[in-house]
Amino acid sequence: MDIKKLQRVIVDALEDVKAQDIKVFDTTGQTQLFDRVIVASGTSNRQTRALASNVRDKVKEAGGHVISVEGEETGEWVLVDLGDAVVHVMQPSIRDYYRLEEIWGQKPVPAKPAPTRKPAAGKPTAAKPAAKKAAAGETAKPAAKKSAAGATKAGAGAKAPAAKKPATKTAAANTASAKKPAAKKAAAPKAAASKPAAKKPAARKSGAG
Protein backbone atom coordinates (compact mmCIF):
# COMPACT_ATOMS: atom_id res chain seq x y z
CA MET A 1 0.00 0.00 0.00
CA ASP A 2 1.17 3.54 -0.80
CA ILE A 3 2.47 5.35 2.30
CA LYS A 4 0.12 8.31 1.79
CA LYS A 5 -2.88 6.05 1.49
CA LEU A 6 -1.78 4.10 4.57
CA GLN A 7 -1.40 7.35 6.47
CA ARG A 8 -4.94 8.46 5.55
CA VAL A 9 -6.40 5.12 6.61
CA ILE A 10 -4.64 5.33 10.01
CA VAL A 11 -5.70 8.92 10.68
CA ASP A 12 -9.30 8.20 9.68
CA ALA A 13 -9.37 5.20 12.02
CA LEU A 14 -8.06 7.30 14.89
CA GLU A 15 -10.59 10.07 14.24
CA ASP A 16 -13.43 7.54 14.19
CA VAL A 17 -12.78 6.75 17.87
CA LYS A 18 -12.17 10.41 18.84
CA ALA A 19 -8.40 10.33 19.27
CA GLN A 20 -6.85 13.54 20.61
CA ASP A 21 -3.85 15.55 19.35
CA ILE A 22 -2.94 13.40 16.32
CA LYS A 23 0.59 14.10 15.05
CA VAL A 24 2.26 12.63 11.97
CA PHE A 25 6.04 12.68 11.34
CA ASP A 26 8.02 11.76 8.23
CA THR A 27 10.97 9.62 9.36
CA THR A 28 12.47 8.69 5.98
CA GLY A 29 15.62 10.68 6.76
CA GLN A 30 16.04 9.27 10.28
CA THR A 31 15.58 5.52 9.86
CA GLN A 32 15.15 2.89 7.18
CA LEU A 33 12.75 0.79 9.29
CA PHE A 34 9.61 2.86 8.67
CA ASP A 35 8.49 6.03 6.87
CA ARG A 36 5.90 7.44 9.27
CA VAL A 37 5.44 7.75 13.04
CA ILE A 38 1.94 8.65 14.16
CA VAL A 39 1.24 9.67 17.76
CA ALA A 40 -2.25 10.08 19.27
CA SER A 41 -3.75 10.32 22.76
CA GLY A 42 -6.60 8.42 24.43
CA THR A 43 -8.21 9.59 27.65
CA SER A 44 -8.48 6.12 29.23
CA ASN A 45 -7.16 2.55 28.97
CA ARG A 46 -10.36 1.55 27.27
CA GLN A 47 -10.10 4.27 24.63
CA THR A 48 -6.43 3.56 23.84
CA ARG A 49 -7.29 -0.10 23.26
CA ALA A 50 -10.25 0.84 21.09
CA LEU A 51 -8.10 3.24 19.05
CA ALA A 52 -5.41 0.63 18.43
CA SER A 53 -7.99 -2.02 17.57
CA ASN A 54 -9.76 0.26 15.08
CA VAL A 55 -6.46 1.14 13.38
CA ARG A 56 -5.62 -2.55 13.01
CA ASP A 57 -9.03 -3.42 11.59
CA LYS A 58 -9.21 -0.52 9.12
CA VAL A 59 -5.70 -1.17 7.77
CA LYS A 60 -6.57 -4.83 7.19
CA GLU A 61 -9.79 -3.86 5.42
CA ALA A 62 -7.82 -1.53 3.14
CA GLY A 63 -5.42 -4.33 2.19
CA GLY A 64 -2.54 -3.32 4.46
CA HIS A 65 -0.37 -5.60 6.56
CA VAL A 66 -0.36 -5.53 10.38
CA ILE A 67 2.88 -6.85 11.86
CA SER A 68 2.08 -6.62 15.58
CA VAL A 69 0.15 -4.83 18.32
CA GLU A 70 1.82 -4.31 21.72
CA GLY A 71 0.69 -2.85 25.07
CA GLU A 72 -3.00 -3.79 24.98
CA GLU A 73 -2.74 -5.45 28.39
CA THR A 74 -2.27 -2.21 30.29
CA GLY A 75 -3.68 0.24 27.73
CA GLU A 76 -1.36 3.04 28.82
CA TRP A 77 0.75 2.88 25.66
CA VAL A 78 -0.36 0.74 22.72
CA LEU A 79 1.98 0.39 19.74
CA VAL A 80 0.66 -0.77 16.33
CA ASP A 81 3.42 -1.83 13.91
CA LEU A 82 2.21 -1.58 10.30
CA GLY A 83 5.57 -1.97 8.56
CA ASP A 84 5.93 1.39 6.78
CA ALA A 85 4.18 3.19 9.64
CA VAL A 86 4.23 2.86 13.44
CA VAL A 87 1.30 4.14 15.51
CA HIS A 88 1.70 5.11 19.19
CA VAL A 89 -1.57 5.46 21.10
CA MET A 90 -0.78 6.85 24.56
CA GLN A 91 -2.49 8.30 27.56
CA PRO A 92 -1.63 12.01 28.09
CA SER A 93 0.61 11.47 31.15
CA ILE A 94 2.65 8.76 29.40
CA ARG A 95 2.94 10.91 26.27
CA ASP A 96 4.19 13.89 28.26
CA TYR A 97 6.75 11.71 29.99
CA TYR A 98 8.30 10.01 26.93
CA ARG A 99 7.99 12.97 24.50
CA LEU A 100 8.17 10.98 21.27
CA GLU A 101 7.67 14.20 19.30
CA GLU A 102 11.17 15.29 20.33
CA ILE A 103 12.65 12.02 19.01
CA TRP A 104 10.77 11.72 15.70
CA GLY A 105 9.40 15.23 15.21
CA GLN A 106 12.10 16.66 12.95
CA LYS A 107 9.78 16.62 9.92
CA PRO A 108 6.08 16.94 10.81
CA VAL A 109 3.61 16.47 7.94
CA PRO A 110 -0.15 17.12 7.56
CA ALA A 111 -2.28 14.41 9.10
CA LYS A 112 -4.20 13.94 5.84
CA PRO A 113 -2.00 14.41 2.77
CA ALA A 114 -3.51 15.76 -0.43
CA PRO A 115 -4.61 13.14 -2.97
CA THR A 116 -1.98 12.25 -5.55
CA ARG A 117 -4.30 13.01 -8.49
CA LYS A 118 -4.57 16.74 -7.82
CA PRO A 119 -1.47 17.86 -9.80
CA ALA A 120 -2.94 16.35 -13.00
CA ALA A 121 -6.01 18.55 -12.59
CA GLY A 122 -3.91 21.66 -13.26
CA LYS A 123 -3.26 20.79 -16.91
CA PRO A 124 -6.63 21.69 -18.43
CA THR A 125 -6.58 25.16 -16.82
CA ALA A 126 -4.08 26.43 -19.39
CA ALA A 127 -6.32 25.44 -22.27
CA LYS A 128 -9.48 26.98 -20.83
CA PRO A 129 -8.68 30.68 -21.57
CA ALA A 130 -7.90 29.85 -25.21
CA ALA A 131 -11.13 27.94 -25.52
CA LYS A 132 -13.03 30.84 -24.03
CA LYS A 133 -11.41 33.28 -26.46
CA ALA A 134 -12.26 31.05 -29.39
CA ALA A 135 -15.83 30.74 -28.18
CA ALA A 136 -16.03 34.50 -27.75
CA GLY A 137 -14.77 35.00 -31.32
CA GLU A 138 -17.33 32.57 -32.65
CA THR A 139 -20.16 34.28 -30.84
CA ALA A 140 -19.02 37.70 -32.02
CA LYS A 141 -19.14 36.73 -35.71
CA PRO A 142 -22.84 35.80 -35.81
CA ALA A 143 -23.63 39.02 -33.97
CA ALA A 144 -21.83 41.01 -36.66
CA LYS A 145 -23.67 39.11 -39.38
CA LYS A 146 -26.99 39.74 -37.69
CA SER A 147 -26.32 43.47 -37.37
CA ALA A 148 -25.26 43.69 -41.02
CA ALA A 149 -28.36 41.78 -42.12
CA GLY A 150 -30.53 44.05 -40.03
CA ALA A 151 -28.96 47.12 -41.57
CA THR A 152 -29.53 45.73 -45.07
CA LYS A 153 -33.17 44.93 -44.34
CA ALA A 154 -33.72 48.34 -42.78
CA GLY A 155 -32.17 50.10 -45.77
CA ALA A 156 -34.23 48.10 -48.24
CA GLY A 157 -37.41 48.69 -46.28
CA ALA A 158 -36.78 52.44 -46.07
CA LYS A 159 -36.21 52.88 -49.82
CA ALA A 160 -39.14 50.87 -51.17
CA PRO A 161 -42.03 52.58 -49.36
CA ALA A 162 -40.70 56.10 -49.89
CA ALA A 163 -40.08 55.81 -53.63
CA LYS A 164 -42.93 53.66 -55.00
CA LYS A 165 -45.87 52.75 -52.80
CA PRO A 166 -47.02 56.15 -51.48
CA ALA A 167 -46.76 57.78 -54.94
CA THR A 168 -48.90 55.17 -56.74
CA LYS A 169 -51.58 55.11 -54.04
CA THR A 170 -51.86 58.89 -54.00
CA ALA A 171 -52.04 59.13 -57.78
CA ALA A 172 -54.71 56.43 -57.99
CA ALA A 173 -56.75 58.10 -55.28
CA ASN A 174 -56.53 61.45 -56.99
CA THR A 175 -57.54 60.06 -60.38
CA ALA A 176 -60.46 58.13 -58.87
CA SER A 177 -61.71 61.17 -57.00
CA ALA A 178 -61.30 63.29 -60.10
CA LYS A 179 -63.24 60.95 -62.41
CA LYS A 180 -66.21 59.91 -60.24
CA PRO A 181 -67.66 63.35 -59.46
CA ALA A 182 -67.40 64.41 -63.11
CA ALA A 183 -69.37 61.39 -64.26
CA LYS A 184 -72.13 61.95 -61.71
CA LYS A 185 -72.45 65.66 -62.50
CA ALA A 186 -72.65 65.02 -66.24
CA ALA A 187 -75.38 62.37 -65.86
CA ALA A 188 -77.52 64.46 -63.54
CA PRO A 189 -78.34 67.33 -65.98
CA LYS A 190 -79.33 64.92 -68.77
CA ALA A 191 -81.85 63.10 -66.58
CA ALA A 192 -83.31 66.33 -65.28
CA ALA A 193 -83.68 67.82 -68.76
CA SER A 194 -85.36 64.82 -70.38
CA LYS A 195 -88.10 64.15 -67.78
CA PRO A 196 -90.02 67.52 -67.85
CA ALA A 197 -89.91 67.91 -71.61
CA ALA A 198 -91.47 64.52 -72.37
CA LYS A 199 -94.44 64.33 -69.93
CA LYS A 200 -96.05 67.75 -69.14
CA PRO A 201 -96.92 69.17 -72.57
CA ALA A 202 -98.37 65.90 -73.94
CA ALA A 203 -100.81 65.38 -71.01
CA ARG A 204 -102.43 68.82 -71.22
CA LYS A 205 -102.96 68.73 -75.03
CA SER A 206 -104.72 65.35 -75.04
CA GLY A 207 -107.16 66.34 -72.27
CA ALA A 208 -108.20 69.52 -73.97
CA GLY A 209 -109.05 67.94 -77.35
The stretch 153-176 carries a mean pLDDT of: 41
DSSP, collapsed to helix, strand or coil, labels residue 109 as: strand
- Per residue in 38-62, pLDDT (tens digit) is 999 999 999 999 999 999 999 999 9
The band of 120, judged by pLDDT with boundaries at 50, 70 and 90, is low
Q: Which domains does the chain have, with CATH numbers?
A: 3-116 (3.30.460.10)
- Evaluate whether 20 touches 40 at the Cβ level (below 8 Å): yes
